[in-house]
Amino acid sequence: MVNYKVADESLAEKGKEALYIAENKMPVTAKVLRDRFAKEKPLEGITIAGCLHVTKETGNLARTLKAGGAEVYLCGSNPLSTQDDVTAALVQEGINVFAWHGNTDEEFYWCIRECLKAKPNILIDDGADMIVTAHQEFEDLIKSGTIIACQEETTTGVKRFRAMEKQGKLKIPLFPVNDARCKNQFDNELGTGQGIVSAIYGMHILFAGKVCVISGYGHCSSGMALRARGLGANVVVTEVDPIKALQAKFAGYQVMPIAEALPIADIILTATGCKHVIAPTKEMFNKLKDGVILGNLGHFDIEIPTKELYEYAKWIKPIRSNVEELTFPDGKRVYLLAKGRLANLVLSEGHPSEIMDMSFALQSLMSEYIVKNKDSLKPGMLEVPTDIDDKVGFLKLKAMGVEIDTLTTEQYNYIHGYEEGT
Ligand SMILES: NC(=O)c1ccc[n+]([C@@H]2O[C@H](COP(=O)([O-])OP(=O)(O)OC[C@H]3O[C@@H](n4cnc5c(N)ncnc54)[C@H](O)[C@@H]3O)[C@@H](O)[C@H]2O)c1
């Protein structure tokens, strides 16, 4: 029996097309690993619950885990990123889904709880909400060892788990899949960079000649800066980390504090994992230029102070799907993307499938690794083994028809030794 609550089951045919389109661009996750998993069944008897952006790419991850023998449960990791056609199609394929676009905070946690009630053995989270809920409300799953280990998909989730571990509150083995090279060097940098461009393009806004302020110069934000510059924008970076700020400066961007950047910005995009990148004060709001576009790509909707902007605005008018015009008391208008939530996922379709192929190949292989190593995993932050990261890299290169060199024994000994010098 399939357990589910989705928006509209009649969208299944459309969802199948979306899954098919993604599948063809995900040769590692949806072909190489899926074929092997279908033969070897490494996840037989295992229940996996994913709290992820339920997109066509995540749908393909779920299908691969199911092919490997797992019972799969899915819920959304953001109220606005679920693709309702995809959820309908997944239900028809026997995947348990509790997700719909636009759910409330209360419904969001209800969906998480429905997945946890299935007593999953592995949790794959994106932002930590499911694993934190398991710690707070489903302690038995942890104490009894039902949950063997967990996998985290994004930077914000990893940071929350590091904080939990520091306070002695992380009770399960946790793999920060986000930190693997095949994840954050491609998904965060390329995916987010391209995603925001496609989101803003949907508004028919020209980047060329605009001042585009990017807050942060980390994995996502440096990718966003690069794409915005490529389209001819004058990019200004704001940072709090001196080294990242130097990197931005030497990459040729203007670097300045946010308070100085606000009055010159035509577009402001945040991806910091921090809160209140623009301080939630009238003084800061009044610095904004008339017509400025505000978009966030960080995990939560508090980087741009959405709640306070709504409170300050005299009028709020939807002008396109997921774009609102906020008019301030002095008549100034600002354009808020996606209610301050992940703009690339809400206004566009999220990262391109080619990119998610690597992230989800890692997630698939890590689930297999957890099952194989279940008796030796200890609670706390662990690391994705380098050979799994490398394997995904090799599989992706192979799928793209790219060959690379291999170290000779002499070269290997040289770079791992100290004897040879001047
Ligand atoms: N939209 C997406 O599809 C997507 C994809 C991956 C990650 N994310 C999310 O994006 C966020 C950033 O992830 P990342 O991997 O780039 O993290 P990162 O740690 O690599 O980069 C964050 C950068 O922001 C800087 N920063 C922190 N607070 C700041 C502030 N107040 N002002 C200016 N800069 C500040 C940090 O110094 C750091 O350099 C996280 O919330 C992550 O979960 C979103």
CATH code of 234's domain: 3.40.50.720
Distance (angstroms) between ligand 1 centre and the Cα of 245 equals 13
CA of 273 relative to ligand 1 center, distance in Å = 4
Residue 135 to residue 352: CA distance in whole angstroms: 33
Half-sphere exposure of 299 (CA within 13 A, CB side): 22
Q: Is residue 422 part of a domain?
A: no
Residue for token pair 């904004």: 288
- Angle (nearest 5°) at CA 377 between 66 and 34: 20
Take atom 42 of ligand 1 and give the residue whose Cα is closest: 155
Q: Specify burial of residue 385 (Cβ count, 10 A radius: 0-12, 13-18, 19+).
A: middle
Choosing from 323, 346, 369, the residue where a domain stops is 346
Q: Whole-angstrom Cα distance, residue 273 to residue 159?
A: 9
Pick the last residue of a domain from 346, 372, 387: 346
61 shares a domain with 39: yes
Span 83-88, mean pLDDT?
A: 98
Question: 299 C-alpha vs ligand 1 centroid, how far in Å?
Answer: 8
- Collapse the DSSP code of 153 into the 3-class scheme (helix H, G, I; strand E, B; otherwise coil) and give the result: coil
Instruction: Look at residue 151 and give its three-state secondary structure.
Output: strand
- Decide: 79 and 341 in contact? Cβ < 8 Å: yes
pLDDT at 44: 98
Residue 97 backbone dihedrals phi, psi, to 5 degrees = -130, 130
On whether the CB atoms of residues 234 and 254 are closer than 8 A, the answer is yes
84 has pLDDT over 80: yes
Report the alpha-carbon distance of residue 126 to residue 132 in Å, rounded: 11
Question: Percentage of residues in the chain with pLDDT exceeding 90?
Answer: 95
Indicate whether residue 344 lines ligand 1 (CB < 6 A): yes
CA nearest 97: which of 44, 19, 45, 152? 19
Tell the residue nearest (CA) to atom 38 of ligand 1. Answer: 218
Whether pLDDT at 92 is above 90? yes
Q: Let me know whether 367 and 340 are in one domain.
A: no
Residue found by looking up tokens 């295992």 in the block = 46
Are the C-beta atoms of 43 and 371 separated by less than 8 Å? yes
Q: Are 338 and 264 in the same domain?
A: yes
Residue with tokens 């391109």: 352
Which amino acid residue places its CA nearest to atom 32 of ligand 1? Answer: 239
Token digits of residue 98: 């509790």
Distances (CA, A) of 191 to 179, 196, 223, 335, 411: 15, 9, 8, 23, 34
What is the model's pLDDT at position 195? Answer: 83
Ramachandran sector of residue 49 (left: φ over 0; alpha: ψ -120 to 50; beta: rest): beta
pLDDT (mean) for 232-246: 98
Query: What is the spatial distance between Cα 232 and Cα 212, in angstroms, rounded to a whole number?
Result: 10
Distance 46 CA to ligand 1 centre (A): 33
Query: Is 193 part of a structural domain of the chain?
Result: no
pLDDT tens-digit series, residues 165-178: 999 999 999 999 99
Residue 188 lies in a domain: no
Residue 158 pLDDT greater than 90, yes or no: yes
Residue 415 forms part of a structural domain: no
194 lines ligand 1 (CB under 6 A): no
Q: What is the 3-state secondary structure (H, E, C) of 155-217?
A: HHHHHHHHHHHHCCCCCCEEEEHHHCHHHHHHHHHHHHHHHHHHHHHCCCCCCCCCEEEEECC
pLDDT of residue 201: 73
- Helices 155-166 and 129-137 meet at what angle, rounded to 10? 30
Give the mean model confidence (pLDDT) for residues 120-126.
98
Average pLDDT over residues 22-38: 98
Tell me, yes or no, whether 328 and 314 share the same domain.
Answer: yes
d(CA 145, CA 167) in angstroms, rounded, equals 21
Ligand 1 centroid – CA 184 distance (Å): 11
Cα(188) to centroid of ligand 1, in Å?
A: 9
Ligand 1, atom 3, residue with closest C-alpha = 192
Task: Give me the mean pLDDT over the 268-277 stretch.
Answer: 97
Residue 231 CA, ligand 1 centroid: distance in Å: 22
- Cβ–ligand 1 contact at 64 (below 6 Å): no
pLDDT band at 149 (very low <50, low <70, confident <90, very high): very high
Inside any domain, residue 413: no
Confidence (pLDDT) at 294 = 96
Asked if 328 and 367 sit in the same domain, the reply is: no
Q: Is residue 411 assigned to a domain? A: no
125 shares its domain with 40:
yes
Q: What is the pLDDT of residue 348?
A: 86
Assess whether 167 and 262 both reside in one domain. Answer: no
Mean pLDDT of 59-88: 97
Q: Are residues 170 and 269 in the same domain?
A: no
Gap between the Cα atoms of 281 and 304, Å rounded: 12
- pLDDT value at residue 199: 77
Q: What is the pLDDT of residue 248?
A: 98
CA of 215 to the centre of ligand 1 (A): 8
Q: Whose CA is nearest to atom 19 of ligand 1?
A: 218
Report the pLDDT value the prediction gives residue 198, as an integer from 0 to 100: 76
CATH code of residue 359: 3.40.50.1480
Q: Do both 251 and 385 map to the same domain?
A: no
Domain count, the chain: 2
pLDDT tens digits, one per residue of 357-396: 999 999 999 999 999 999 999 999 999 999 999 999 999 9
Residue 266 lies in a domain: yes
Residues 33 and 153 in one domain: yes
pLDDT of residue 235: 98
Least confident of 172-186, 269-283, 295-309, 341-355: 341-355
Ligand 1 in contact with 219 (CB < 6 A)? yes
Q: Is 328 helix (H, G, I), strand (E, B) or coil?
A: coil
pLDDT for position 204: 79
Among 313, 346, 379, the domain-final residue is: 346
Instruction: Examine the domain organization and report whether 29 and 147 are in the same domain.
Output: yes
Using alpha carbons, select from 284, 230, 232, 223 the residue that is nearest to residue 257: 284
Residue 391 in any domain: the answer is yes
What's this model's pTM, rounded to 2 decimal places? 0.96
Closest protein CA for atom 27 of ligand 1: 272
**What tens digit of pLDDT does each residue of 180-232 get?**
999 999 999 999 998 887 778 767 789 999 999 999 999 999 999 999 999 99
For the chain, give the mean pLDDT.
96
Per-residue model confidence as pLDDT tens digits over 290-334 = 999 999 999 999 999 999 999 999 999 999 889 999 999 999 999
Q: Say whether both 48 and 112 belong to one domain.
A: yes
Tell whether the model's pLDDT for residue 347 goes beyond 80. yes
Q: What are phi and psi of 99, to 5 degrees?
A: -165, 140
Task: Give the residue numbers spanning the domain of 244.
Answer: 203-346
Q: What pLDDT does 205 receive?
A: 86
Ligand 1 atom 39: the closest Cα is on which residue?
Answer: 218
